[in-house]
């Protein structure tokens, strides 16, 4: 059936192109920033008289074929830029690069009516394109601009626990998000145990989140694709941007290596709490009040990108990212004393203890891309990428007994643990635009995965005893797997009202002796009913990778693992329907979407298992396999332009899990099953010098498992005896087994979380003789401005209290909040 | 005004840094009956009944339930009512010994609680050949299991010492007699057909988990038939006792499930770290475990 469909489709395409070609010409080229030459991803090119338009792809390339005419009027627009009107004669194929001029926000609403209303025109559902300028304006904790925390404010995206940068999209887990940085996957996208994301917003040009209605070109994850494009670098002049914050500073330098031909961008960020704390720690150590050594933590990010325009048909991009977290401790304690020997020669006896610990984790990605124009209608991007995530614990302790300065006894223990994943991939993607009614994308990809699911070794050295050097899990225990995919999709305009995007994503995964093939059909429809766009989509997704996580808060200890013959690939299908509308006069885009997504073959740790207990046990023996289900409704009202911009997002959702061996097989709510999520994000420009931003978020309580009751357990196998111990006031106590009944898994709700974040930006322009114009911005902010105690976790504490004449243990629930009101100040500059 | 503002700001920050707070969670205690029992052909049919107590508040031991109607069936044939044995929470069917291969169902009814019901099947006896040898502080038990290789069999090994009643006295407090009790013993078991596989089931001291001194294993991953296991029991000579015992037997699957879920039950409910989970139970309408075993006890 599928075979006949594709035959008919290609026949139709050939006929359509032949008939169109007779009296039509193609206009193609790039849309770019006039000042920097930066490509404008998603810019719209629209011919209002012909009611035809297109959108620049992620390399800024566009192509549209139109009927021959003496003059065709084009409207080219992009958020944050002045709309460009251009009349072009179309009597032959034309190559035209549009260069847009950045525009102050205040003027944009006047010409909004002439913009292509992309949210209405597009077939795509569940896709949100947030202007990076808006993301930079979102107030952030400690003034650290954070891409993922801004994404968390979008409907359908939940942020996990307070302060974390985790992403839970439409009821899915954190592993179900494909985060791409210039096409290379980033496996652990957070620093500081999940509190900051790894993306430096100064180096980012474009962000697009797809959470449903996935086009066929995307595959490999069930819940979302976060496609992040780095800036290409200024082709016209050198410039520097930077910022100084409370915990970190950043600097981005970009400019032409060869003007209009080759650009380079280098961007870095580093925290300096460790550097600032070091003299304090040393001073405390000198006074005997410090930790006795060096203790610290830092993280850094380094981005670089080289962009080379070889010719009008060929461009090359080389981009790389390196980021690392490092927590360390090196503590030495020495004690010495002298003995009084009868001989009169005192002996110095002492000991030295040293504890050295290093916890390191980080990502490294590199991608090399080559854009080639085969013709005005056929664009190709060839890409090879490398991505590596590594986590490393190395802890050692050494104890020496000294006599007169010499070692007489030594105990040394060292434990190491390594885990990680490495991906190497190659892919080629084609954009083929034969006629205005068809936009075809097709391509091939292959990923070679290397999983390192936890290598552990222990070394023990003791004076007079044999050295023990045990490798619990060897480093060489790699699991290799290959993932291949091919896809084809077409965005087909059937009529002025009806548009369909359909495609097929075929993939296969080879691991060990297992092979998992998959055919994933994708379909999205759009029908225009007056000012409304009615949309529906159906997609199937397959994911060959699992994340084994203890807590779900994005810890570096989380293990990435492949599907195996015992643990099958994750699978899901998603159906969605919605309505979109643009209110041109108000500059607003609104949409409502409902979705339903069942998921299969999800994994969770077995009760009591974690990454460290019994590392020699195969991870497959530590997991339970089950299913999930998510459904909900999302409302999104966005204003991208004008003096006041921002969005309001509301999500009503349910997310459940069913595991045969968890919760007695009864369905239970997912940890981040929150019924209501509201985000209000507003930025207002009072003047050229002052703007103000705030966001207010509200989320229902996360689901949590809490003790409900205590009861007696079975304690008589074999025999029928009871053990006793002597307890308080010499009373014998039965050593009976007392167990805790937690009721249903995730059966309780934390209290709702809400907070208000504020930021005021004060801009100053200053003309400098050598550096030209310099823009300085002071940002004053407050995170959680009204200091709401949002729950981070709840625990049951047992404290001694005086009760009926004696001390007894009294159990109480305690809620821990970690982030109070946090004021911040930061300084940014642009030279 | 300036001073007031500063004071207000300072107090705001102090208040803001109060990260931990006691919260009142509405967790209504749904009082449930708890039925526990482990049947074997060597003992009369006996169960224990108790009830749940609140997780929060004063940590008093969960109370036993003595006023209940407890009924037993054997392969769906009514056996009769178990009578209260005069010991807290203990009900027994006097002089009735469960039979291997038979399924026993127990139902308990008590005013104020939903009815509870559970059943278990007594395992068939295992064919065991054993040899005991003693050295100074180590007692070695070599044993071989000859069971039905076509069937999934679950085994248990347990070593313990029976401590007789003992007078305990400390100056300043009245003396007290500690009743007869058991103490787990430190053991190492080795299945010689699997190189380097030593099952260490060292247990905590008295006051810890009594259940921790059981080692259970099944023959799905290894076929024990015809192979010899060696169990070394380390005799703790400085303790009083009547000598050690080793139990080797077949058990119902419920015990394995119960044991494997015990560890994660001790988590106190913190969101971070391991997810707390319930201990396995098979009692419908309430909590607890009805299980069975059938084996041999060796005096060391």
Q: List, for residues A595-632, the tens digit of each pLDDT value.
A: 999 999 998 887 656 655 555 567 787 788 999 999 99
pLDDT at B205: 28
The two tokens of residue A800 are: 């001694």
Distance from C-alpha of A698 to C-alpha of A677, rounded to nearest angstrom: 6
String of DSSP letters for A22-60: TTEEEEEEEEEETTT--B-TT-EEEETTTTEEEE--TTS
Residue B25 lies in a domain: no
Whether B22 sits inside 8 A of A793 (CB atoms) is no
Shared domain for B132 and B111, answered yes or no, is: no
Bond before A684 cis per omega within 30 degrees: no
Shared domain for B39 and B63, answered yes or no, is: yes
Q: Which domain holds residue B109?
A: 33-121
Minimum-distance CB partner of B38 among A709, A712, A717: A717
Shared domain for B237 and B142, answered yes or no, is: yes
Q: Which residues of A touch B21 (CB under 8 A)?
A: 789, 814-815, 817
Whether B19 sits inside 8 A of A816 (CB atoms) is yes
Which of B36, B46, B55 to mutate: most A Cβ within 10 Å? B55
Q: Which residues of B touch A713 (CB under 8 A)?
A: 36, 211, 258, 262, 279, 288-289
Residue with token string 């650290």? A144
Residue of A nearest to B26 (CA): A748
Residue B139 lies in a domain: yes
Distance from C-alpha of A486 to C-alpha of A638, rounded to nearest angstrom: 35
Distance from C-alpha of A208 to C-alpha of A130, rounded to nearest angstrom: 7
Whether A723 sits inside 8 A of B180 (CB atoms) is no
Minimum-distance CB partner of A723 among B13, B181, B264: B181
Last residue of a domain, one of B101, B121, B141: B121
Low-confidence ranges of chain B (pLDDT < 70): 1-28, 136-138, 147-151, 170, 173, 178-228, 234-243, 263-274
In this structure, the strands spanning A24-33 and A94-95 are: parallel
Q: Pick left, alpha or beta for residue A6 (phi over 0 → left; psi -120 to 50 → alpha; otherwise beta).
A: alpha
Distance from C-alpha of A482 to C-alpha of B243, rounded to nearest angstrom: 60
Shared domain for B141 and B228, answered yes or no, is: yes
Last residue of a domain, one of B76, B97, B121: B121
Shared domain for B201 and B99, answered yes or no, is: no
Shared domain for B132 and B247, answered yes or no, is: yes
Domains of chain A from N-terminus onward: 2-116 (2.60.40.1120), 127-710+822-830 (2.40.170.20)
Q: How many Å lie between the alpha carbon of B102 and the closest alpha carbon of chain A?
A: 19
Minimum-distance CB partner of B38 among A161, A716, A730: A716
| CATH number for position B48 | 2.60.40
Whether A712 sits inside 8 A of B36 (CB atoms) is yes
Shared domain for B116 and B133, answered yes or no, is: no
Query: CA geometry: angle at A277 spanning A275 and A283, to 5°?
Result: 120
pLDDT at A300: 92
Whether B21 sits inside 8 A of A815 (CB atoms) is yes
Residue B201 lies in a domain: yes
The dihedrals phi and psi of A322, each to the nearest 5 degrees, come to -140, 125
Q: How many Å lie between the alpha carbon of A559 and the closest alpha carbon of chain B?
A: 15
Q: Which long-range contacts (CB under 8 A, 24 or more apart) does B81-85 make?
A: B82/B45, B82/B46, B82/B47, B82/B106, B85/B46
Which residues, listed in sequence order, are joined to residue A228 by a DSSP beta bridge? A181, A207
Residue of B nearest to A795 (CA): B270
Q: How many Å lie between the alpha carbon of A461 and the closest alpha carbon of chain B?
A: 22
Residue B69 lies in a domain: yes
Distance from C-alpha of A187 to C-alpha of A389, rounded to nearest angstrom: 6
Residue B288 lies in a domain: no
Last residue of a domain, one of B121, B139, B163: B121
Q: Which residues of A touch B56 (CB under 8 A)?
A: 707, 796, 811-813
Q: Which long-range contacts (CB under 8 A, 24 or more apart) does A786-790 make?
A: A786/A755, A786/A756, A786/A821, A787/A820, A787/A821, A787/B12, A787/B15, A787/B16, A788/A753, A788/A754, A788/A755, A789/A815, A789/A817, A789/A820, A789/B18, A789/B19, A789/B21, A790/A162, A790/A753, A790/A754, A790/A755, A790/A817, A790/A819
Minimum-distance CB partner of B211 among A662, A715, A793: A715
Residues 6+ apart with CB under 8 A from B57: A810, A811
Whether B55 sits inside 8 A of A704 (CB atoms) is no
Domain count, chain B: 2
Whether B58 sits inside 8 A of A721 (CB atoms) is no
B251: nearest Cα among A345, A206, A369, A714: A714
Minimum-distance CB partner of A710 among B46, B55, B208: B55
Whether A607 sits inside 8 A of B158 (CB atoms) is no
The model's pTM is 0.80
The dihedrals phi and psi of A278, each to the nearest 5 degrees, come to -55, -50
Q: Which residues of B touch A705 (CB under 8 A)?
A: 269, 275-277
Distance from C-alpha of A99 to C-alpha of A186, rounded to nearest angstrom: 32
Whether A709 sits inside 8 A of B32 (CB atoms) is yes
Residue B242 lies in a domain: yes
Whether B56 sits inside 8 A of A808 (CB atoms) is no
ipTM: 0.83
The dihedrals phi and psi of B86, each to the nearest 5 degrees, come to 85, -5
Low-confidence ranges of chain A (pLDDT < 70): 1-22, 104-121, 193, 290-291, 340-344, 455-457, 463-477, 550-556, 607-617, 715-736, 767-773, 803-806
Whether A608 sits inside 8 A of B214 (CB atoms) is no
Residue B227 lies in a domain: yes
Residue A819: Cβ within 10 Å count = 19
Strand spans (E) along A161-291: 168-169, 177-181, 184-185, 190-191, 196-197, 204-210, 224-230, 239-244, 248-258, 262-271
Shared domain for B53 and B105, answered yes or no, is: yes
Residue B277 lies in a domain: no
Shared domain for B132 and B246, answered yes or no, is: yes
Kindly compute the dihedral angle of the four CA atoms of residues B26, B29, B30, B32, in this order, to the nearest 10 degrees. 160
Residue of A nearest to B295 (CA): A718
Shared domain for B164 and B219, answered yes or no, is: yes
Shared domain for B116 and B96, answered yes or no, is: yes
Q: Which residues of B touch A554 (CB under 8 A)?
A: none
Q: How many Å lie between the alpha carbon of B65 and the closest alpha carbon of chain A?
A: 12
Shared domain for B157 and B228, answered yes or no, is: yes
Which of A141, A608, A734 to mutate: most B Cβ within 10 Å? A608
Q: Is A118 helix (H, G, I), strand (E, B) or coil?
A: helix
Between chain A and chain B, the number of residue pairs with CB atoms below 8 A apart is: 266
């Amino acid at each position: 059936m599928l075979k006949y469909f594709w035959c008919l489709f290609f026949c139709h395409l050939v006929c359509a192109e032949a008939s169109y070609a007779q009296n039509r010409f193609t206009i193609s080229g790039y849309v770019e920033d006039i000042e920097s030459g930066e490509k404008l991803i998603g810019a719209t090119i629209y011919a209002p008289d012909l009611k035809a338009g297109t959108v620049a792809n992620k390399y800024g390339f566009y192509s549209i074929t139109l009927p021959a005419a003496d003059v065709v009027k084009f409207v080219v627009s992009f958020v944050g830029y002045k709309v460009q009107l251009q009349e072009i004669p179309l009597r032959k194929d034309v190559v035209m690069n549009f260069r847009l001029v950045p525009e102050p926000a205040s003027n944009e609403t006047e010409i909004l009516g002439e913009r292509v209303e992309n949210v209405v025109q597009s077939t795509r559902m569940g896709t949100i394109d947030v202007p990076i300028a808006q993301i930079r304006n979102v107030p952030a904790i400690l003034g650290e601009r954070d891409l993922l925390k801004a994404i968390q404010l979008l409907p359908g995206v939940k942020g996990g626990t307070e302060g974390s940068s985790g992403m839970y999209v439409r009821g899915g887990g954190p592993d179900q998000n494909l985060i791409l940085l210039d096409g290379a996957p980033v496996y652990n996208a957070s620093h500081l145990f999940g509190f900051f994301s790894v993306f430096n917003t100064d180096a980012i040009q474009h962000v697009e989140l797809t959470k449903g209605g996935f086009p066929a070109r995307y595959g490999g994850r069930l819940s979302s694709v976060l496609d992040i494009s780095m800036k290409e670098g200024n082709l016209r002049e050198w410039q520097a941007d930077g910022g100084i914050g409370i915990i970190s500073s950043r600097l981005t330098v970009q400019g032409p290596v060869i003007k209009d031909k080759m650009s380079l961008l280098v961007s870095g960020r580093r925290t300096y709490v460790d550097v600032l704390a070091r003299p304090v720690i040393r001073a405390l150590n000198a006074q005997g009040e410090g930790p006795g050594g060096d203790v610290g933590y830092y993280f850094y990010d380094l981005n670089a990108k080289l962009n080379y325009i070889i010719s009008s048909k060929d461009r090359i991009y080389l981009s790389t990212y390196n980021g690392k977290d490092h927590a360390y401790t090196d503590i030495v304690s020495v004690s010495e004393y002298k003995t009084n020997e009868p001989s009169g020669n005192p002996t110095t006896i002492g000991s030295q203890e040293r504890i050295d610990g290093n916890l390191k984790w980080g990502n490294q990605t590199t991608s090399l891309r080559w854009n080639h124009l085969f013709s005005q209608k056929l664009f190709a991007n060839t890409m090879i990428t490398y991505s590596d995530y590594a986590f490393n614990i190395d802890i050692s302790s050494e104890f020496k007994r000294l006599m007169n300065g010499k070692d007489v006894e030594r105990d040394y223990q060292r434990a190491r643990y390594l885990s990680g994943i490495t991906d190497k991939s190659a892919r080629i993607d084609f954009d083929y635009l034969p006629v205005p009614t068809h936009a075809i994308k097709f391509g091939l990809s292959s990923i070679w995965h290397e999983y390192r699911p936890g290598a552990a070794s222990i070394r023990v050295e003791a004076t007079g005893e044999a050295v023990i050097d045990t490798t619990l899990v060897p480093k060489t225990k790699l699991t290799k797997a290959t993932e291949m995919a091919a896809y084809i999709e077409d965005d087909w305009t059937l009529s002025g009202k009806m548009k369909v995007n359909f495609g097929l994503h075929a993939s296969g995964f080879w691991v060990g002796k297992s092979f998992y093939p998959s055919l994933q059909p994708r379909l999205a429809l759009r029908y225009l009913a007056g000012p409304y766009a009615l949309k529906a989509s159906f997609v199937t997704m397959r994911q060959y990778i699992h994340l084994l996580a203890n807590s779900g808060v994005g810890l570096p200890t989380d293990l990435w693992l492949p599907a195996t013959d015992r643990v099958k690939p994750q699978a899901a299908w998603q159906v969605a329907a919605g309505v979109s509308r643009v209110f041109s006069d108000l500059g607003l885009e609104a949409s409502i979407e409902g979705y339903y997504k069942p998921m299969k073959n999800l994994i969770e740790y077995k009760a009591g298992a974690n990454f460290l207990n019994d590392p020699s046990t195969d991870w497959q023996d530590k997991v339970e396999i089950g299913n999930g289900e998510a459904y909900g409704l999302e409302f999104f009202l966005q204003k991208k332009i004008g003096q006041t911009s921002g969005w309001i997002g509301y999500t009503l959702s349910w997310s459940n899990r069913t595991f045969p061996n968890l919760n007695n097989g009864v369905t239970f709510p997912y940890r981040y099953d929150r019924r209501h999520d509201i985000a209000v994000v507003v930025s207002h420009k009072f003047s050229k010098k002052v703007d103000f931003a705030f966001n207010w978020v509200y989320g229902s309580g996360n689901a949590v498992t809490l003790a409900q009751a205590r009861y007696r357990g079975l304690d008589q196998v074999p025999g029928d005896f009871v053990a006793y111990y002597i307890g308080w006031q010499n009373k014998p106590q039965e050593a009976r087994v007392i167990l805790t009944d937690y009721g249903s898994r995730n059966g309780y709700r934390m209290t709702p979380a809400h907070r208000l974040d504020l930021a005021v930006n004060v801009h100053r322009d200053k003309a400098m003789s050598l550096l030209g114009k310099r823009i300085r911005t002071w940002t004053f902010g407050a995170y959680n401005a009204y200091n709401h105690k949002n729950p981070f976790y709840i625990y049951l504490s047992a404290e001694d209290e005086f009760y009926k004449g004696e001390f007894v243990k009294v159990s109480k629930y305690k809620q821990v909040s970690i982030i109070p009101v946090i004021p911040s100040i930061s300084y940014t500059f642009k030279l | 005004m300036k001073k007031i503002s500063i004071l207000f700001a300072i107090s705001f920050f102090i208040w803001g840094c109060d990260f931990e707070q006691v919260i009142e969670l509405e967790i209504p205690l749904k009082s449930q009956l708890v039925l526990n029992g482990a049947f074997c052909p060597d003992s009369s049919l006996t169960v224990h009944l108790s009830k749940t107590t609140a997780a929060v508040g004063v940590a008093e031991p969960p109370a036993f339930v003595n006023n209940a109607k407890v009924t037993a069936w054997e392969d769906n044939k009514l056996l009769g009512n178990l009578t209260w044995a005069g010991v807290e929470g203990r009900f027994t069917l006097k002089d009735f010994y469960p039979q291997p291969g038979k399924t026993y169902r127990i139902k308990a009814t008590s005013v104020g609680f939903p009815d509870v019901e559970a059943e278990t099947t007594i395992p068939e006896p295992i064919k065991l050949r054993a040899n005991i040898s003693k050295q100074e502080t180590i007692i070695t038990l070599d044993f071989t299991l000859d069971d039905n290789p076509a069937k999934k069999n679950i085994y248990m090994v347990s070593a313990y010492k029976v401590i007789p009643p003992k007078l305990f006295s400390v100056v300043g407090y009245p003396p007290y007699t500690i009743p007869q009790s058991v103490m787990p013993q430190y053991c190492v078991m080795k299945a010689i057909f699997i190189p380097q596989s030593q099952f260490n089931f060292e247990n905590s001291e008295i006051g810890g988990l009594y259940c921790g001194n059981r080692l259970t294993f099944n023959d799905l991953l290894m076929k024990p038939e015809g192979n010899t296991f060696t169990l070394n029991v380390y005799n703790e000579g400085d303790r009083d006792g009547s000598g050690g015992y080793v139990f080797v037997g077949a058990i119902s699957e419920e015990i394995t499930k119960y044991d494997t879920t015990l560890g994660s039950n001790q988590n106190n409910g913190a969101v971070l770290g391991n997810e707390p989970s319930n201990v396995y139970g098979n009692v419908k309408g309430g909590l607890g475990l009805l299980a069975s075993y059938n084996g041999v006890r060796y005096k060391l």
